[in-house]
Amino acid sequence: MQQLLQDTLATAPLGVTILLSLVVILLHSFVKNSERAQAMVSVAGLAIAAAAAFWTFPMRGTAFSGMVMTGGYASAMSVLFIAGAALTILLARDYLGKIGADFGEFHILVLLAVTGMMAFASGLDLIVTFIGLEVMSVCLYVLAGMTRGRLEANEASLKYFLLGAFATGFFLYGIALIYGAAGTTNLAAIAQSASARAQDPLFLAGCGLLLVGFAFKVGAVPFHMWVPDVYEGAPSVVTGFMSTAAKASAFAAFMLVFIAKFDIAHGRISLALAMLSVASMVLGNVVAISQTSIKRMLAYSSIAHAGYMLIGLAAGTPAAISGVLFYLLSYLFTNIGAFGVVSIIENEKQENVSIESFAGLGTRRPLLGALMSLFLFSLVGLPPLSGFFGKYYIFYAAIAEGYTWLTIVGVLTSMISIYYYLRVVVVMYFRSDTDATAVPVTTLGTASLLLSAAGVLVFGFFPRLITDIADTLF
């Protein structure tokens, strides 16, 4: 009993989020037209969950018979997902109503997805990891198709589901093979004998299948094909959420399993990761150039960013983990902000936004233009914005591990990316608008954009705020 209480307390962020989802479900079932209230309750509840995460941070250890990780890494990652969910819910208030999809289910699904993410990123048993992955994924499949009336949304949702299920099959098969080799699904137990099994083809094949499952979720080439279609078809705020929080949880679980626990990221797997990284950076950045839709452009950019973070995984040192964590955080604020701006423009233009729809934004909407520029500059990785330090820490760790060639590819492809990011800035400031119908942005939307911008700036100016924490994760 004592133990149960302790375990429950140590996993408080997860518990609070589950309770919160239940409260919102009840609110949705019994109070009519309570969408706004649900949003507010969700954000308030997420704040409590965040507080719980801070409170549990020092409780580094395991809970529920070694099934989940507590404190440190798990808490830090929880904060990331919570922040992503809260910003998404705030931004969605204006957006969903205008596209005719202001369903209360939205909040419930986002919250349940967050619980899945937390389990995914803190599971110390492959079964927990898998359950977390599925809870998150199923929520996202539905979220992608929220706008039932739109054909592209249905297509996105279905494609995501089909391919997701396909990848899940590999993931599960990988778990089965590892279980066959090691006789357990507990990560700690597997890790103990991992080095002895470094040549065992059964074990290695299991790891390979698992890797494919993760690579699908983070959207790495060649498992990226779903990304552009789904990101484009899903509602913009959902895309923002998928490309940040969901990607962060996939990376968090990826790092937990492969680096922190298996510690087999060296050698062959490291090489495979490096290859995926190169393919993602090159393909993501190159194809982004020829995109005309801003959401597709950002989708390819998201593939490229997965490539940068994979550099960190290939390096596989504690410094690299802390670098990837910084990157995830920076990317979370930057990309939610960017998709937030996109969603506002989408409402304004009532169409799928092309890059040309941003024409004249800089003069028509000075604040939005400036914020979008800030986000794009951070995506490029210009100092002193947080995007710069994300890349910097990862590259630094990679060079220390001898991955200089990988870093060179990273830097070169970043240079390519300047072209397509800054093209948006050019369109915003040097092209005049053809039809200007300014839809007023509510204070809520502005506030969440400003919050994202604050994240981009603060972590750019004071990167130590994060790196100091990132050094005490385990």
Which CB, 71 or 323, lies closer to other proteins? 323
Site for other proteins in 291-330 (CB under 8 A): 291
Q: Return d(Cα 435, Cα 361) in angstroms, integer.
A: 11
- The count of other CB atoms within 10 Å of the CB of residue 222 is 12
Residue 377 CB burial class (10 angstroms; 0-12, 13-18, ≥19): buried
Return the range that interacts with other proteins (CB under 8 A); candidates 65-73, 221-229, 345-353, 358-366.
221-229
Site string for other proteins, 16-45 (x = CB under 8 A): ------------------------------
Task: Check residue 159 for interaction with other proteins (CB under 8 A).
Answer: yes
**Binding status of residue 85 toward other proteins by CB under 8 A:** no
The CA–CA distances, whole Å, from 161 to 127, 231, 370 equal 21, 13, 36
Contact status: 360 vs other proteins (CB under 8 A): no
173 exposed, middle or buried (CB, 10 Å; 0-12, 13-18, 19+)?
middle
- 40-48, 200-208, 332-340, 357-365 -> range binding other proteins (CB under 8 A): 200-208
Specify the residue, 66 or 208, whose C-beta has the smaller distance to other proteins.
Answer: 208
The answer to whether 60 contacts other proteins (rule: CB under 8 A) is: no
Does 209 participate in binding other proteins (rule CB under 8 A)?
Answer: yes
Question: Rounded distance, CA 87 to CA 455, Å?
Answer: 12
Helices (H), 183-267: 187-192, 201-218, 226-233, 236-241, 247-255
* Segment contacting other proteins by CB under 8 A, of 35-43, 47-55, 224-232, 349-357: 224-232
- 221 DSSP 8-state letter: T
Which residue among 272, 338, 344, 409 contacts other proteins (CB under 8 A)? 272
Q: Is 271 in the site for other proteins (CB under 8 A)?
A: yes
Alpha-carbon distance of 203 to 198, in angstroms, equals 8
Q: At closest approach, how far in Å is the CB of 152 from other proteins?
A: 11
Site for other proteins, residues 402 to 431, rule: CB under 8 A: 416, 419
| Shortest CB 68 distance to other proteins, Å | 28
250 touches 223 (CB < 8 A): no
Q: Which of 229, 346, 348, 433 binds other proteins (CB under 8 A)?
A: 229
Residue 3: CB atoms within 10 A of its CB come to: 10
Binder among 73, 106, 223, 375 for other proteins (CB under 8 A): 223
Q: How many residues bind other proteins (CB under 8 A)?
A: 43
Name, in order, each residue with C-beta under 8 angstroms of 24's C-beta and a sequence gap of 6 or more: 38, 41, 42, 45, 104, 107, 108, 111
Q: Tell me whether residue 82 or residue 215 sits nearer to other proteins (CB atom).
A: 215
Least CB distance to other proteins at residue 219 (A): 12
What b/e string do you get for 320-353 counting C-beta neighbours within 10 Å, with b at 16 or more? bbbbbbbbbbbbbbbbbbbbbbbbbbbbbeeebb
Residue 158 beta carbon to other proteins: minimum distance, rounded to whole angstroms: 8
User: CA–CA separation, 206 vs 181, rounded Å?
Assistant: 9
Shortest distance, position 457 Cβ to other proteins, whole Å = 14
Residue 468 CA from chain centroid, whole number? 22
| Residue 148 found at the interface with other proteins (CB under 8 A) | no
CB of 336 to other proteins, least distance (A): 25
Does residue 166 belong to the site contacting other proteins (CB under 8 A)?
yes
The least distance separating other proteins from the CB of residue 170, rounded to whole angstroms, comes to 7
From the list 202-210, 323-331, 369-377, 439-447, the region that binds other proteins by CB under 8 A is 202-210
The interface with other proteins within residues 451-470 (CB under 8 A) comprises 462, 464, 467
CB of 115 to other proteins, least distance (A): 27
Residues 6+ apart with CB under 8 A from 326: 386, 389, 390, 393, 459, 463, 466, 467, 470
Strands 61-63 and 68-70: antiparallel
Segment lying near other proteins (by CB under 8 A), choices 124-132, 282-290, 329-337, 438-446: 282-290
| C-alpha dist (Å) from residue 177 to 73, 195, 311, 463, 470 | 27, 17, 27, 41, 33
Q: Please give the helix or strand (H or E) that residue 70 lies within, else none.
A: strand 68-70
- Count of CA atoms in the C-beta half-sphere (13 A) of 132: 27
* Interface with other proteins (CB under 8 A), residue from 40, 392, 431, 447: 392
Type of residue found at 386? S
Contacts with other proteins by CB under 8 A lie at: 159, 162-163, 166-167, 170, 201, 204-205, 207-209, 211-212, 215-216, 221-223, 225-226, 228-229, 268-269, 271-272, 275-276, 283, 286-291, 392, 396, 416, 419, 462, 464, 467
